[in-house]
Amino acid sequence: AITMVDPEGALVSIDPTMPTNSPNLFSVRRNTSMTPEPFKQTPFTYLCRAFRINELKTEVTNRLAMLEKRVELEGLKVVEIEKCKNDLKKLRDEMTSRGGGRSMIQIRDVPSYPKYTLSQETIEALKKPTFDVWHWEHNEMLSCLEYMYHDLGLVKEFNMNPITLKRWLLGIQENYRSNPFHNFRHCFCVSQMMYGMINLCNLPEKMTLTDMGILMTAAVCHDLDHPGYNNTYQINARTELAVRYNDISPLENHHCAVAFQILSLPECNIFANVELEAYKQIRQAIITLILATDMARHGEILDSFKHKVDSFDFTNEEHVTCLKMVLIKCCDISNEVRPTEVAEPWVDCLLEEYFMQSDREKTEGLPVAPFMDRDKVTKPTAQIGFIKFVLIPMFETVMKLFPQIEEIMVQPLRDSRDHYEELKQIDDAMTEVGHLFSLNITLSFRVGVNSILNSRQLRK
């Protein structure tokens, strides 16, 4: 083992950065008192030349410096990426907790869902209100929606790029949240019912293909990015959506905004090949229909349609617009038109979402609607009034214009009303039995106590 010293006797570090071989360097044997002797250059110089030590040293030094720089830069990137992720998560959590909409739309880069070949049985079932929406995965529902656009001639009418249609549908699916009720399956449910009504009522013979495109697209987009808390909550909690839209249909306005955010992306714009003026009219018509799904406007819209239905004119633009508004309303709340085994799970989903909201309202000290309070509502009480006073009157009014819907749509509503009234009678009877049972126990207890007291009195 040796050490290197300079002429002043100071130690010189032996490492890749040491100076080149020089007569000014001396070697000292470790733990000896020998006088330093000049280090012989010949062997060291020979070794340096033989192994190209200086070149290797320079290369290693440069590479180390470069790696250190890269580590520093990558470290900064990681820090920034993590910071960005944390900021986004914080923002998303804040928006969700406030019941507001997300600030950024979600879009997949490429269509990745497989192409399904629909059987003839499925194609026929898609046209009927009896279609069971619970048996399908998301990719299958996307393929069914894609088929509807092709089958109605909308792809050809609007000169849509089929890949753009796929990408648009993917963008739609990814911007429905995983709520118990207001989710992508509900979107598909409403769209499938619209497709069924278009076929059942022979609408292509009475209205234009542009009207068909407006009806279908509004149905697909009508609940985009629904946060799971209704307009009443948005307004009472003064959420960002309520503030942004001045308490006027905040959710429906948000659904429209997200729909056209997606359509504004070139890769998702299914109306890219439509002339500007025609696109403006389509956009306005879709907005009108989505805004019509606000149940606060139900009475106003239905009354308007009732005044027109007896002398309805398919050449009158105002009449047709009013009909389209009623049609999307029918489809939006049409679950009870379906068979009981298909409709009833939707009631459970809706009540779950209602209870989630009412629990939050209680926590935040906000007003709670009785029909959303888990302590006050039951499945029969939730459905009977809605079916009797909202669904049946609206569908019976539409039936005046399209008598063919009575058997397949109106009658199931009447049957559903009867079903829930029977359930309510059973619930009431069980409640009465429970009261009587409690009363009997109370009376028996009192009789027993009185007997004991009387016997003690006799003894005295």
Task: State the pLDDT at residue 34.
Answer: 47
Task: State the pLDDT at residue 240.
Answer: 97
Render each residue's pLDDT in the chain as its tens digit; 460 residues.
Answer: 566 777 777 666 666 666 666 655 555 545 444 444 444 444 455 455 555 666 767 777 777 777 777 766 666 555 666 666 666 666 665 555 555 545 456 665 555 666 678 999 999 999 999 999 999 999 999 999 999 999 999 999 999 999 999 999 999 999 999 999 999 999 999 999 999 999 999 999 999 999 999 999 999 999 999 999 999 999 999 999 999 999 999 999 999 999 999 999 999 999 999 999 999 999 999 999 999 999 999 999 999 999 999 999 999 999 999 999 999 999 999 999 999 999 999 999 999 999 999 999 999 999 999 999 999 999 999 999 999 999 999 999 999 999 999 999 999 999 999 999 999 999 888 877 766 666 666 656 565 656 655 665 555 5
Residues 192, 151: contact at Cβ < 8 Å? no
> What is the Cα Rg of the chain in Å?
38
Largest CA distance in the chain: 133
Provide the 10 A C-beta neighbour count for residue 34.
8
Which residue blocks in 160-297 are alpha helix, DSSP H? 162-174, 184-200, 209-221, 231-236, 240-244, 250-263, 276-291
Round to whole Å and give the CA distance between 83 and 70. 20
The closest alpha carbon to 326, from 284, 285, 287, 298, belongs to 298
CATH for 120-423 (3.30.930.10, 3.40.50.720, 1.10.1300.10, 3.40.1190.20)? 1.10.1300.10
List all residues 6 or more positions away from 215 whose beta carbon is below 8 Å from its beta carbon: 194, 198, 203, 289, 324, 327, 328
Round to whole Å and give the CA distance between 410 and 394. 10
Round to whole Å and give the CA distance between 308 and 246. 31
Do you know the residue count of the chain?
460
The closest alpha carbon to 43, from 61, 60, 59, 27, belongs to 27
Task: State the pLDDT at residue 17.
Answer: 61
Give the residues across from 38 on adjacent strands: 26
Residues 36, 10: contact at Cβ < 8 Å? no
Round to whole Å and give the CA distance between 61 and 65. 6
Provide the 10 A C-beta neighbour count for residue 380.
19
Domain segments of the chain as ranges? 2-51, 120-423
Feature table: binding site for Zn(2+): 186, 222-223, 332
Feature table: binding site for AMP: 182-186, 223, 332, 383
Residues 306, 397: contact at Cβ < 8 Å? yes
Query: Which residues participate in catalysis according to the annotation?
Result: 182
3-state DSSP: the chain helix, strand, coil percent, rounded to 5? 70, 5, 30
Burial of residue 338 (CB within 10 Å: 0-12, 13-18, 19+) is buried
Round to whole Å and give the CA distance between 342 and 349. 12
SS3 call for 112:
coil
